[in-house]
Amino acid sequence: MTIATRATAHRTSRTATRFVGRLGFVVFITVVSVFFAVPMIWLVVAPFDGNPTMSVKWPEWTLNNFHRILDNPYAFGSIVNSLMISGGVVALTVILATLAAYALSRVRIPGRDALLYGLLLLSSIVTGTAAMVPTFQLINALGLINTQLGVVLVMSGGILPTVVFILKDFMDSVPKSYEESARLYGAGPFQILRDVVVPVARPGIAFVAVWSVVQAWSNFLVPFILLRDPTLQPAGVLMYTFYTEAGQADLRLISAFSLVYTLPVVVIYFLVNRKFGFRFYGGIKS
Amino acid sequence: MSDITIRELVKQYPNGVRGVDGVDVDVADGEFFALLGPSGCGKTTLLRSIAGLESVTEGALHIGVTDMTHVEPGDRGVAMVFQDYALFPHMDVSDNIAYPLRVRKVPKEERRATAARTAEGLSLGGLLDRRPGQLSGGQQQRVALARAIATRPDVLLLDEPLSNLDARLRLEARGFLKQLQRDLGVTTLFVTHDQAEAMALADRIAVMKDGRIQQIGTPREVFHSPRNTFVASFIGSHPMNLLPGRVSGGRVEVLGASLPAPRLTVDVPDGHEVVWGVRPEFISWSGTATPDSVRAEVSIVENLGATALVLAKAGDARLQCVVSEESAPQVGQQVWFACSVEKTLLFDAVTTDRIGGGE
């Protein structure tokens, strides 16, 4: 073999290796995409299927499933409950977290970071399954069992540490000179927070607000345990009661209701995104 | 009257470091006053103490006749322009300028009118609706100035007012600042690490080092009669030549030569160790030996446009002099440097204080 042919052979084998690698990559990406896409497709298609099953298939087009939702006495109320609970959680977390994050960002206290990490770690346990019994007892002792206030408090408690943690980062990136400047003109701490810090940290606040909505909206465990009365239950818990007379999961009702349940969050996301624009950074480049 | 009187001011940090260490300063009403020093010398801390952004550990601060030592920043009648301008990015120029008035609950129409008037005065007329992010550095600075003066403060503080501008804009802004200060007649203190800026702008300069004032004087005083070697080397666009020598019979032995000594302000014995200082601008050179001159060999010639900086070696010591570009010597040439005795300064070698020369 001459050097030239050897070089050609080498080039050919390299091209072949590259083709196989490329093919493998495409196959891998396809499998992953399908894995994530199938539930989404089911969510969009199954509600319009006269006879939905657990698999994705071409539907027998109908709107009957949505009529059945309207027949369910608790369906509409549960969406309203979900909105109220999420709204309460967002209001409480955003207000408290903004104040706490600002204070933690500006005041030097020893062990501040350890405190934040500790809270972050504990919060995932406190409202998690492990702490459900003591949480139940606590809310019971407070007389808040079977109230939405109890649910809002427990959920907010679980969300707050993470939100404070994220917001503190945004507040850290607001230059101190902004506040000092406002202070020199005679503005007090709350005025500075309102006029300067909150507007500058607004992308961060918008982000944690949406994140809190999503967390509260999708939380099943807390309302499931703390609410007994079906007229108070949010949509996520109500869905758990959708069975046919035969005792099987009523897929027609569940699929349609799932879609209805998803829409408000998507709408909120787009509204907030349009109004504030998600910019996943804190401060302003000057 | 808004003169500033600072007495024995100390700012000690919790870790025991004294940012400002016993400072006395008097700034006259309407004066343009510079705090000059290298970074970390406490000049910004002093400025922030005057603003009330730093609490004072010891000492007293009066503005006019009012004791302001422990008064809230907003109640001092002091406005400040920060180094990064601290313009609020979410407000337009008009709202930024009017923000101090908003804090004071001035009605909206009046606020807008004042903002428009102030902006007009600083040639920002067409920019009222812009956000700070859409302005150039020079415009941002003028907005920050407009916001500071919109409230008609008694005292205006500027923290490194020109450092965020590029070189050409800096010269322009310098002239603008000086004109503005003169027009307003407001007592103004500014902080800078750039001696040229301080010399160009200020009526008087306080040179600081390690939290202490080294010298307070007019630009002419600090340039021609520096109180110690630190001030001598810090002031001037080219550092002063400072070389060890000793006093001997009314003359100074330096660089192996005997040069005439300036008039001494304290009596020192013969053989006293001194530092001989003369500015590069006041040294002349000659190709032949002249009386009272120092022989040296030219090692580098830097062309500065109209002038040239000549670096020469005399034994182990190095000498600098600034000469006209046309008459610069050649590299490697043997030259004799001379300087007039009026421009020569002598400093004590131990205390570094000036003991001879100066105006």
| CATH number of residue B323's parent domain | 2.40.50.140
* B92/B238 same-domain check: no
Contact A284 B87 (CB under 8 A): no
Contact A184 B103 (CB under 8 A): no
* B252/B117 same-domain check: no
| C-alpha distance across the termini of chain A, in Å | 65
* Domain CATH code at residue B163: 3.40.50.300
* B240/B325 same-domain check: yes
For residue B120, how far is the Cα from the chain centroid?
Answer: 30
* B206/B279 same-domain check: no
Per-residue pLDDT, A281? 44
CA distances from residue B190 to B35, B187, B201 in whole angstroms, order as listed: 6, 10, 9
Res A282 pLDDT > 50: no
Res B82 pLDDT > 50: yes
Lowest mean pLDDT among A109-113, A212-216, B68-72: A109-113
pLDDT digits (tens, 9 = 90+) for A156-167: 988 898 899 889
Domain finish residue from B207, B227, B247 = B227
For residue A241, how far is the Cα from the chain centroid?
Answer: 23
ipTM attached to this prediction: 0.82
* B195/B49 same-domain check: yes
Res B250 pLDDT > 90: no
- DSSP 3-state percent helix, strand, coil across chain A (nearest 5): 75, 0, 25
* B295/B315 same-domain check: yes
Q: Which candidate, B1, B33, B359, B16, places its Cα nearest to that of B188?
A: B33
Q: What is the largest CA-CA distance in chain B?
A: 77
* B128/B256 same-domain check: no
Tell me the nearest-neighbour CA distance from B103 into chain A, angstroms. Answer: 6
* B222/B247 same-domain check: no
* B163/B287 same-domain check: no
Per-residue pLDDT, A131? 81
| Exposure on the CB side of residue B260, measured as CA atoms within 13 A | 12
Q: A124 pLDDT band (50/70/90 cuts)?
A: low
> Which of B44, B84, B95, B141 is the best residue to mutate to test the A interface, defined by the most A CB atoms within 10 Å of its own CB?
B84
Domain finish residue from B192, B227, B262 = B227
Domains of chain A by start residue, with CATH: 3-62 (no CATH), 73-276 (1.10.3720.10)
* B37/B185 same-domain check: yes
* B152/B211 same-domain check: yes
Q: B228 pLDDT band (50/70/90 cuts)?
A: very high
pLDDT digits (tens, 9 = 90+) for B160-198: 988 888 888 888 888 889 999 999 999 999 999 999 999
Cβ neighbours of A185 in B, within 8 Å:
74, 79, 99-100, 103-104, 151
| Exposure on the CB side of residue A138, measured as CA atoms within 13 A | 13
Q: A280 pLDDT band (50/70/90 cuts)?
A: very low
**CA gap B353, B335 in Å, rounded:** 31
Q: Which chain A residue is nearest to residue B85, measuring alpha carbons?
A: A177
Look up residue B86 and give its DSSP letter: T
Res B226 pLDDT > 80: yes
Domain finish residue from B196, B227, B258 = B227
Contact A286 B78 (CB under 8 A): no
User: Which residue did the predictor score with more confidence, A274 or A26?
Assistant: A26
* B244/B207 same-domain check: no
pLDDT digits (tens, 9 = 90+) for A193-220: 999 999 988 888 888 998 999 899 988 8
Helix (H) or strand (E) run with residue B61 in it:
strand B58-63
Res B126 pLDDT > 90: no
Domain count of chain B? 2
- Residue range of the domain that includes B301: 234-356
